[in-house]
Amino acid sequence: MPTFTDSSSRTDAYSRIDNALILDLLPRLENPDAGVRRVALIELADLEDPDSLPFLEHALRRDEDADVRAQAAKLLEAWDEPEIATALCDALSDPDANVREAAALSLAEFKNPAAGHAILAYASHANPNVRAQVLRALREIRLPESAAPALAALKDENPIIRREAIGVLGWLKHTPALPSLATLATEDPAEEVRRAAVGTLSMSENAEAATALLLALQDSAWQVREEAASAVGKLRLQKSAPALTELLRDDYWQCRLQAARALGKLQFTPAVTALTELLTHPISNLRKEAALALGEVGDSSALPALQTAEQDNDPEVRKAVLIALTQITQKHLPQK
Protein backbone atom coordinates (compact mmCIF):
# COMPACT_ATOMS: atom_id res chain seq x y z
CA MET A 1 0.00 0.00 0.00
CA PRO A 2 1.51 3.38 -0.93
CA THR A 3 2.05 6.08 1.67
CA PHE A 4 3.36 9.60 1.33
CA THR A 5 5.38 11.86 3.57
CA ASP A 6 6.02 14.93 1.40
CA SER A 7 4.43 16.91 -1.44
CA SER A 8 6.12 14.92 -4.22
CA SER A 9 5.00 11.55 -2.91
CA ARG A 10 1.52 12.98 -2.33
CA THR A 11 1.35 14.17 -5.95
CA ASP A 12 2.44 10.69 -7.03
CA ALA A 13 -0.36 9.16 -4.96
CA TYR A 14 -2.86 11.55 -6.53
CA SER A 15 -1.78 10.53 -10.03
CA ARG A 16 -2.66 6.88 -9.44
CA ILE A 17 -6.26 7.55 -8.38
CA ASP A 18 -9.03 6.82 -10.88
CA ASN A 19 -11.94 7.44 -8.52
CA ALA A 20 -13.23 10.96 -9.20
CA LEU A 21 -15.05 10.99 -5.86
CA ILE A 22 -11.76 10.57 -4.03
CA LEU A 23 -10.14 13.32 -6.06
CA ASP A 24 -13.01 15.66 -5.25
CA LEU A 25 -12.52 15.08 -1.52
CA LEU A 26 -8.75 15.48 -1.38
CA PRO A 27 -8.63 19.31 -1.39
CA ARG A 28 -10.78 19.29 1.76
CA LEU A 29 -8.11 17.25 3.52
CA GLU A 30 -5.86 20.30 3.17
CA ASN A 31 -8.45 22.72 4.58
CA PRO A 32 -7.19 24.75 7.56
CA ASP A 33 -10.44 23.97 9.40
CA ALA A 34 -10.00 20.71 11.32
CA GLY A 35 -13.75 20.08 11.26
CA VAL A 36 -13.76 20.18 7.47
CA ARG A 37 -10.85 17.74 7.33
CA ARG A 38 -12.56 15.37 9.76
CA VAL A 39 -15.81 15.26 7.75
CA ALA A 40 -13.82 14.77 4.55
CA LEU A 41 -12.18 11.72 6.10
CA ILE A 42 -15.58 10.24 6.97
CA GLU A 43 -16.82 10.74 3.42
CA LEU A 44 -13.57 9.29 2.08
CA ALA A 45 -13.93 6.16 4.21
CA ASP A 46 -17.57 5.77 3.13
CA LEU A 47 -16.34 5.19 -0.45
CA GLU A 48 -14.70 1.93 0.72
CA ASP A 49 -12.03 2.33 -1.93
CA PRO A 50 -8.52 1.06 -1.13
CA ASP A 51 -7.10 4.09 -2.95
CA SER A 52 -8.33 6.22 -0.03
CA LEU A 53 -6.21 4.37 2.51
CA PRO A 54 -2.97 6.35 2.08
CA PHE A 55 -4.86 9.54 2.86
CA LEU A 56 -6.56 8.07 5.93
CA GLU A 57 -3.23 6.77 7.16
CA HIS A 58 -1.57 10.11 6.48
CA ALA A 59 -4.23 11.86 8.57
CA LEU A 60 -3.67 9.40 11.42
CA ARG A 61 0.07 9.92 11.39
CA ARG A 62 0.44 13.57 10.46
CA ASP A 63 -2.65 15.71 11.06
CA GLU A 64 -1.95 18.38 13.67
CA ASP A 65 -5.44 18.10 15.18
CA ALA A 66 -6.01 15.27 17.66
CA ASP A 67 -9.73 14.95 16.80
CA VAL A 68 -8.84 14.39 13.15
CA ARG A 69 -6.25 11.77 14.06
CA ALA A 70 -8.74 10.02 16.33
CA GLN A 71 -11.34 10.04 13.55
CA ALA A 72 -8.83 8.49 11.14
CA ALA A 73 -8.04 5.78 13.69
CA LYS A 74 -11.73 4.93 14.03
CA LEU A 75 -12.26 4.81 10.28
CA LEU A 76 -9.33 2.45 9.73
CA GLU A 77 -11.06 -0.21 11.83
CA ALA A 78 -12.54 -1.77 8.67
CA TRP A 79 -9.15 -2.28 6.98
CA ASP A 80 -7.27 -5.03 8.79
CA GLU A 81 -4.21 -5.02 6.55
CA PRO A 82 -0.59 -5.15 7.78
CA GLU A 83 0.22 -1.57 6.81
CA ILE A 84 -2.84 -0.23 8.60
CA ALA A 85 -2.09 -2.40 11.63
CA THR A 86 1.38 -0.85 11.78
CA ALA A 87 -0.02 2.68 11.57
CA LEU A 88 -2.53 1.97 14.34
CA CYS A 89 0.14 0.39 16.53
CA ASP A 90 2.24 3.50 16.08
CA ALA A 91 -0.81 5.57 17.07
CA LEU A 92 -0.89 3.75 20.42
CA SER A 93 1.97 6.10 21.35
CA ASP A 94 0.13 9.24 20.19
CA PRO A 95 0.37 12.10 22.72
CA ASP A 96 -3.44 12.37 22.80
CA ALA A 97 -5.39 9.85 24.90
CA ASN A 98 -8.41 9.85 22.57
CA VAL A 99 -6.23 8.93 19.60
CA ARG A 100 -4.61 6.11 21.56
CA GLU A 101 -8.02 4.80 22.62
CA ALA A 102 -9.42 4.95 19.08
CA ALA A 103 -6.39 3.13 17.71
CA ALA A 104 -6.71 0.42 20.38
CA LEU A 105 -10.41 -0.09 19.66
CA SER A 106 -9.76 -0.42 15.92
CA LEU A 107 -6.94 -2.90 16.43
CA ALA A 108 -9.18 -5.01 18.66
CA GLU A 109 -11.52 -5.53 15.69
CA PHE A 110 -8.83 -6.99 13.43
CA LYS A 111 -9.08 -10.67 12.46
CA ASN A 112 -6.59 -10.97 9.57
CA PRO A 113 -3.56 -13.15 10.51
CA ALA A 114 -1.35 -11.04 8.23
CA ALA A 115 -2.29 -7.97 10.25
CA GLY A 116 -1.70 -10.02 13.38
CA HIS A 117 1.92 -10.57 12.43
CA ALA A 118 2.35 -6.82 12.02
CA ILE A 119 0.79 -6.25 15.45
CA LEU A 120 2.97 -8.95 16.99
CA ALA A 121 6.05 -6.91 16.15
CA TYR A 122 4.98 -4.44 18.86
CA ALA A 123 4.59 -7.03 21.64
CA SER A 124 7.91 -6.05 23.20
CA HIS A 125 7.44 -2.29 22.79
CA ALA A 126 9.00 -0.13 25.50
CA ASN A 127 5.67 1.59 26.23
CA PRO A 128 3.56 -0.56 28.61
CA ASN A 129 0.30 0.84 27.20
CA VAL A 130 1.35 -0.27 23.73
CA ARG A 131 2.23 -3.76 24.99
CA ALA A 132 -1.13 -4.08 26.76
CA GLN A 133 -3.19 -2.94 23.77
CA VAL A 134 -1.19 -5.12 21.39
CA LEU A 135 -1.90 -8.19 23.52
CA ARG A 136 -5.59 -7.29 23.59
CA ALA A 137 -5.60 -6.98 19.80
CA LEU A 138 -3.90 -10.35 19.40
CA ARG A 139 -6.54 -12.26 21.35
CA GLU A 140 -9.13 -12.88 18.66
CA ILE A 141 -6.60 -13.18 15.85
CA ARG A 142 -5.34 -16.32 17.61
CA LEU A 143 -1.87 -16.43 16.11
CA PRO A 144 0.04 -19.43 17.51
CA GLU A 145 3.14 -17.21 17.44
CA SER A 146 1.57 -14.92 20.03
CA ALA A 147 1.83 -17.60 22.75
CA ALA A 148 5.53 -16.97 23.43
CA PRO A 149 5.28 -13.20 24.05
CA ALA A 150 2.10 -13.76 26.08
CA LEU A 151 3.85 -16.29 28.30
CA ALA A 152 6.70 -13.83 28.82
CA ALA A 153 4.20 -11.08 29.63
CA LEU A 154 2.75 -13.14 32.51
CA LYS A 155 5.78 -11.92 34.49
CA ASP A 156 5.37 -8.25 33.56
CA GLU A 157 5.24 -5.88 36.53
CA ASN A 158 2.15 -4.19 35.06
CA PRO A 159 -1.06 -6.05 36.09
CA ILE A 160 -2.92 -4.85 32.99
CA ILE A 161 -0.31 -6.50 30.79
CA ARG A 162 -0.47 -9.72 32.80
CA ARG A 163 -4.27 -9.73 32.45
CA GLU A 164 -4.13 -9.18 28.68
CA ALA A 165 -1.49 -11.88 28.31
CA ILE A 166 -3.82 -14.31 30.08
CA GLY A 167 -6.50 -13.40 27.56
CA VAL A 168 -4.22 -14.27 24.64
CA LEU A 169 -3.36 -17.66 26.13
CA GLY A 170 -6.99 -18.39 26.89
CA TRP A 171 -8.13 -17.63 23.34
CA LEU A 172 -5.33 -19.85 22.04
CA LYS A 173 -6.30 -22.59 24.54
CA HIS A 174 -2.59 -22.86 25.21
CA THR A 175 -2.55 -25.70 27.74
CA PRO A 176 1.22 -25.48 28.43
CA ALA A 177 0.41 -22.23 30.22
CA LEU A 178 -1.85 -23.93 32.80
CA PRO A 179 0.78 -24.26 35.56
CA SER A 180 1.68 -20.57 35.30
CA LEU A 181 -2.00 -19.61 35.20
CA ALA A 182 -2.72 -21.73 38.26
CA THR A 183 -0.03 -19.84 40.16
CA LEU A 184 -1.41 -16.47 39.08
CA ALA A 185 -4.94 -17.53 40.01
CA THR A 186 -4.00 -17.97 43.65
CA GLU A 187 -0.93 -15.80 44.19
CA ASP A 188 -1.13 -12.70 42.00
CA PRO A 189 -1.66 -9.57 44.11
CA ALA A 190 -4.01 -8.01 41.54
CA GLU A 191 -7.64 -9.11 41.75
CA GLU A 192 -8.19 -8.54 38.02
CA VAL A 193 -5.28 -10.85 37.19
CA ARG A 194 -6.47 -13.60 39.54
CA ARG A 195 -9.94 -13.40 38.05
CA ALA A 196 -8.64 -13.61 34.47
CA ALA A 197 -6.40 -16.53 35.34
CA VAL A 198 -9.24 -18.39 37.08
CA GLY A 199 -11.49 -17.96 34.04
CA THR A 200 -8.81 -19.26 31.72
CA LEU A 201 -8.14 -22.35 33.84
CA SER A 202 -11.43 -23.80 32.58
CA MET A 203 -9.82 -24.40 29.16
CA SER A 204 -8.70 -27.88 30.26
CA GLU A 205 -8.85 -29.99 33.40
CA ASN A 206 -5.48 -30.57 35.02
CA ALA A 207 -4.47 -31.31 38.61
CA GLU A 208 -2.81 -27.95 39.20
CA ALA A 209 -5.74 -26.10 37.67
CA ALA A 210 -8.24 -28.03 39.80
CA THR A 211 -6.33 -27.25 42.99
CA ALA A 212 -6.11 -23.58 42.09
CA LEU A 213 -9.81 -23.37 41.32
CA LEU A 214 -10.76 -24.93 44.65
CA LEU A 215 -8.64 -22.32 46.41
CA ALA A 216 -10.13 -19.56 44.28
CA LEU A 217 -13.62 -20.45 45.53
CA GLN A 218 -12.47 -18.93 48.83
CA ASP A 219 -10.67 -15.91 47.37
CA SER A 220 -11.01 -12.62 49.27
CA ALA A 221 -12.47 -10.92 46.15
CA TRP A 222 -16.05 -11.88 45.31
CA GLN A 223 -15.43 -11.45 41.56
CA VAL A 224 -12.75 -14.15 41.75
CA ARG A 225 -15.05 -16.48 43.71
CA GLU A 226 -17.77 -15.91 41.13
CA GLU A 227 -15.38 -16.71 38.27
CA ALA A 228 -14.12 -19.80 40.07
CA ALA A 229 -17.66 -21.12 40.53
CA SER A 230 -18.30 -20.67 36.82
CA ALA A 231 -15.03 -22.40 35.93
CA VAL A 232 -15.57 -25.49 38.09
CA GLY A 233 -19.06 -25.79 36.65
CA LYS A 234 -17.71 -25.77 33.09
CA LEU A 235 -15.16 -28.43 34.03
CA ARG A 236 -17.77 -30.36 36.02
CA LEU A 237 -15.24 -30.65 38.80
CA GLN A 238 -17.05 -32.97 41.20
CA LYS A 239 -14.67 -32.38 44.10
CA SER A 240 -15.73 -28.72 44.13
CA ALA A 241 -19.34 -29.54 45.08
CA PRO A 242 -19.00 -29.13 48.89
CA ALA A 243 -17.28 -25.75 48.47
CA LEU A 244 -19.94 -24.68 45.98
CA THR A 245 -22.65 -25.61 48.46
CA GLU A 246 -21.00 -23.32 51.00
CA LEU A 247 -20.85 -20.61 48.33
CA LEU A 248 -24.66 -20.68 48.11
CA ARG A 249 -24.55 -18.63 51.32
CA ASP A 250 -22.00 -16.12 50.07
CA ASP A 251 -22.58 -12.46 50.88
CA TYR A 252 -22.69 -11.70 47.15
CA TRP A 253 -25.64 -12.99 45.16
CA GLN A 254 -23.52 -13.19 42.00
CA CYS A 255 -21.40 -15.89 43.68
CA ARG A 256 -24.53 -17.72 44.81
CA LEU A 257 -25.91 -17.65 41.28
CA GLN A 258 -22.81 -19.19 39.73
CA ALA A 259 -22.59 -21.74 42.54
CA ALA A 260 -26.20 -22.80 41.93
CA ARG A 261 -25.57 -23.12 38.20
CA ALA A 262 -22.47 -25.23 38.79
CA LEU A 263 -24.19 -27.48 41.33
CA GLY A 264 -26.92 -28.17 38.82
CA LYS A 265 -24.32 -29.31 36.29
CA LEU A 266 -22.73 -31.51 38.95
CA GLN A 267 -26.16 -32.90 39.97
CA PHE A 268 -25.06 -32.68 43.60
CA THR A 269 -27.94 -34.01 45.69
CA PRO A 270 -26.63 -32.81 49.11
CA ALA A 271 -27.08 -29.24 47.91
CA VAL A 272 -30.86 -29.60 47.45
CA THR A 273 -31.77 -28.06 50.82
CA ALA A 274 -29.57 -25.01 50.28
CA LEU A 275 -30.89 -24.62 46.71
CA THR A 276 -34.54 -24.76 47.81
CA GLU A 277 -33.83 -21.98 50.32
CA LEU A 278 -32.84 -19.76 47.39
CA LEU A 279 -36.30 -20.13 45.83
CA THR A 280 -37.47 -17.37 48.17
CA HIS A 281 -34.51 -15.05 47.67
CA PRO A 282 -35.50 -11.46 46.80
CA ILE A 283 -33.38 -11.46 43.61
CA SER A 284 -35.36 -13.12 40.82
CA ASN A 285 -32.33 -14.19 38.77
CA LEU A 286 -31.10 -16.17 41.74
CA ARG A 287 -34.49 -17.82 42.25
CA LYS A 288 -34.52 -18.76 38.58
CA GLU A 289 -31.05 -20.33 38.69
CA ALA A 290 -31.91 -22.22 41.86
CA ALA A 291 -35.00 -23.69 40.21
CA LEU A 292 -33.08 -24.72 37.11
CA ALA A 293 -30.35 -26.28 39.25
CA LEU A 294 -32.91 -28.27 41.23
CA GLY A 295 -34.30 -29.59 37.97
CA GLU A 296 -30.87 -30.75 36.87
CA VAL A 297 -30.16 -32.38 40.22
CA GLY A 298 -33.49 -34.17 39.86
CA ASP A 299 -34.13 -35.01 43.51
CA SER A 300 -37.81 -35.47 44.37
CA SER A 301 -37.38 -33.87 47.80
CA ALA A 302 -37.33 -30.51 46.02
CA LEU A 303 -40.86 -30.95 44.64
CA PRO A 304 -42.82 -29.29 47.50
CA ALA A 305 -40.65 -26.14 47.41
CA LEU A 306 -40.86 -26.00 43.62
CA GLN A 307 -44.63 -26.41 43.66
CA THR A 308 -44.88 -23.46 46.04
CA ALA A 309 -42.61 -21.47 43.73
CA GLU A 310 -45.08 -22.00 40.86
CA GLN A 311 -46.79 -18.89 42.24
CA ASP A 312 -43.67 -16.72 41.95
CA ASN A 313 -44.42 -13.18 40.74
CA ASP A 314 -41.68 -13.31 38.07
CA PRO A 315 -42.66 -15.10 34.83
CA GLU A 316 -39.07 -16.17 34.14
CA VAL A 317 -38.88 -17.82 37.54
CA ARG A 318 -42.21 -19.57 36.96
CA LYS A 319 -40.93 -20.84 33.62
CA ALA A 320 -37.78 -22.20 35.27
CA VAL A 321 -39.86 -23.84 38.00
CA LEU A 322 -42.03 -25.54 35.38
CA ILE A 323 -38.94 -26.87 33.61
CA ALA A 324 -37.57 -28.18 36.90
CA LEU A 325 -40.86 -29.85 37.89
CA THR A 326 -41.04 -31.54 34.50
CA GLN A 327 -37.46 -32.80 34.74
CA ILE A 328 -37.90 -34.23 38.22
CA THR A 329 -41.28 -35.77 37.47
CA GLN A 330 -40.03 -37.47 34.33
CA LYS A 331 -36.94 -38.75 36.12
CA HIS A 332 -39.06 -40.45 38.73
CA LEU A 333 -41.73 -41.93 36.48
CA PRO A 334 -42.08 -45.72 36.90
CA GLN A 335 -40.02 -47.62 34.35
CA LYS A 336 -42.14 -49.67 31.95
Q: What percentage of the chain reaches a pLDDT higher than 70?
A: 94
Do 159 and 206 have their domain in common?
Answer: yes
Residue 171 in any domain: the answer is: yes
> The whole model's pTM is what?
0.86
Q: Are 265 and 315 members of one domain?
A: yes
Do 149 and 129 share a domain, yes or no? no
In a domain, 216, yes or no: yes
pLDDT in tens, 286-320: 999 999 999 999 999 999 999 999 999 999 999 99
For the segment 86-93, the average pLDDT, to the nearest whole number, is 98
Q: If you average pLDDT over every residue of the chain, what do you get?
A: 93
Look at the chain and report how many structural domains it folds into: 3
**44 and 111 assigned to the same domain:** yes
Can you tell me the distance from the alpha carbon of 260 to that of 211, in angstroms, rounded to the nearest whole number?
20
Do 228 and 99 fall within a single domain?
A: no
- Confidence (pLDDT) at 2: 38
166 and 294, same domain (yes or no): no
Residue 14 reports pLDDT greater than 80: no
pLDDT of residue 335: 63
Report the phi/psi class of residue 236: left, alpha or beta, with left for phi > 0 and alpha for psi in -120 to 50: left
List pLDDT tens digits, range 245-258: 999 999 999 999 99
| Pair 228, 251 in one domain | no
Q: Of the candidates 237, 255, 277, which is a domain's last residue? A: 237
- Residue 2 in domain: yes
Looking at residue 5, what DSSP letter applies? S
Residue 323 domain-assigned? yes
Is 14 domain-assigned?
yes
Quote the pLDDT of residue 16: 57
Q: Are residues 29 and 97 in the same domain?
A: yes
- For residues 180-194, give the mean pLDDT: 97
Write down the pLDDT at residue 332: 79
Which residues form the domain of 263? 247-336
Q: Is residue 267 part of a domain?
A: yes
The answer to whether residue 23 is domain-embedded is: yes
Task: Give a yes or no: residue 242 inside a domain.
Answer: no
Is it the case that residue 15 has pLDDT exceeding 80? no
Would the pLDDT of 99 be above 50? Answer: yes
Domain end: 92, 121, 137, which one? 137
For 67, 156, 199, 273, the CA distances from 164, given in Å and listed in that order, are 27, 11, 13, 40
| pLDDT at residue 67 tops 80 | yes
Give the tens place of pLDDT for each residue, 250-280: 999 999 999 999 999 999 999 999 999 999 9
Q: How many residues does the chain have?
A: 336
Choose one of 211, 237, 263: the last residue of a domain.
Answer: 237
CATH code for the domain of 122: 1.25.10.10
Based on the fold, state whether residues 153 and 133 are members of the same structural domain.
no
User: If pLDDT is split at 50, 70 and 90, which confidence band does 24 have?
Assistant: confident
Q: Which residues of 57-80 are buried (b: 16+ CB within 10 A; e: fewer)?
A: bbbbeebeebebbbbbbbbbbebb
The answer to whether residues 6 and 125 belong to one domain is: yes
Instruction: Identify whether residues 275 and 299 lie together within a single domain.
Output: yes
Angle between helices 7-15 and 53-62 (to 10 degrees): 160
Q: What is the mean pLDDT of residues 60-79?
A: 96
Measure Cα distances from 73 to 115, 202, 274 in Å: 15, 35, 52
User: Ranked by mean pLDDT, which of 11-25, 42-56, 235-249 comes out on top?
Assistant: 235-249
Claim to verify: residue 25 and residue 152 sit in the same structural domain: no
Where is average pLDDT lowest: 81-95, 199-213, 257-271?
Answer: 199-213
